[in-house]
Amino acid sequence: MPADLSPIDKAKFVAAKRAVEFVEDGMKLGLGTGSTAAWMVRCLAERIKEEGLRVVGVPTSTRTAELARQLGVPVTSLDDAKWLDLTIDGADEFDANLALIKGGGAALLQEKIVATASDQMIVITDAAKEVAQLGAFPLPVEIIPFGWQTTKALIEEMLVGVDVLDRDVTLRMNGDKPLLTDEANYIVDLHLKRIGNPRQLSLVLNQIPGVVENGLFIDICDIVIIGYGDGRVQVR
């Protein structure tokens, strides 16, 4: 374990290290995005260096692609790999059904495509992200820039009819400009406080013209690995 890690980084590191133990020689892997997923890429690079593990990764963002290349983790495109054995990624929230909110790092679209194209998805997280009901973390929704204000208004209108506690929708900014995703889209964050029916919300969101994808991952995650600041790990 790297020395002098804060408790939160230690939690992320031990979860990532445990997840990388699921990787077998010859696997095609989805490489998630975010600070926890970055630990996974580092742990994977170590196994490649020390054990000569032969794997190839499909990164879910330009950030992850850069990190993987820097550390000597072979990368390819999803079109090249076609189907993956395992994706390891972080999350912003998870519940008892292993439903997730993702997209805090604005990479939800590639993350969902890659995780869906995998036999198995493992989420690595710290304990603070476990919730009884999803929704305290604002739900990211990727929308196309064309007519974005109309799309945002349609989302707001749709939210009136669903079981949530709050209905505030904000455009995610990068300084004084809208943040652009890797696919050159915008993100709106839905401040809902509590999502009564995540499956229904995901379906209705994706029916709105202009919505590309939403950050609810339902029936996609198979295993959650929770790391703790004292070095303990729990696999669910």
Active site residues: 111
Question: In sequence order, which residues have a C-beta less than 8 Å from that of residue 222 and are 6 or more positions away?
Answer: 98, 120, 121, 122
Does residue 35 bind ligand 5RP (CB under 6 A)?
yes
Does residue 225 bind ligand 5RP (CB under 6 A)?
no
Does residue 95 bind ligand 5RP (CB under 6 A)?
no
Which two three-digit tokens encode residue 188?
């709106």
Asked if residue 92 belongs to a known ligand binding site, the reply is yes
In whole angstroms, what is the distance from residue 35 CA to residue 13 CA?
10
Phi, psi of 105 (to 5 degrees): -100, 15
Residues 190-209 close enough to bind ligand 5RP by CB under 6 A: none
Asked if residue 12 belongs to a known ligand binding site, the reply is no
Name which of 36 and 202 has its Cβ closer to ligand 5RP. Answer: 36
Name which of 92 and 95 has its Cβ closer to ligand 5RP. Answer: 92
Asked if residue 60 belongs to a known ligand binding site, the reply is no
Name which of 12 and 28 has its Cβ closer to ligand 5RP. Answer: 12
In whole angstroms, what is the distance from residue 182 CA to residue 110 CA?
9
Name which of 15 and 75 has its Cβ closer to ligand 5RP. Answer: 15
Does residue 105 bind ligand 5RP (CB under 6 A)?
yes
In whole angstroms, what is the distance from residue 165 CA to residue 201 CA?
13
In whole angstroms, what is the distance from residue 100 CA to residue 95 CA?
7
In whole angstroms, what is the distance from residue 172 CA to residue 187 CA?
6
Distance, C-alpha 14 to centroid of its chain: 18
Sequence ranges of the binding site: 33-36, 89-92, 102-105, 129
Binding site for ligand 5RP (CB under 6 A): 32-37, 89-92, 102-108, 111
Sequence ranges of the binding site for substrate: 33-36, 89-92, 102-105, 129
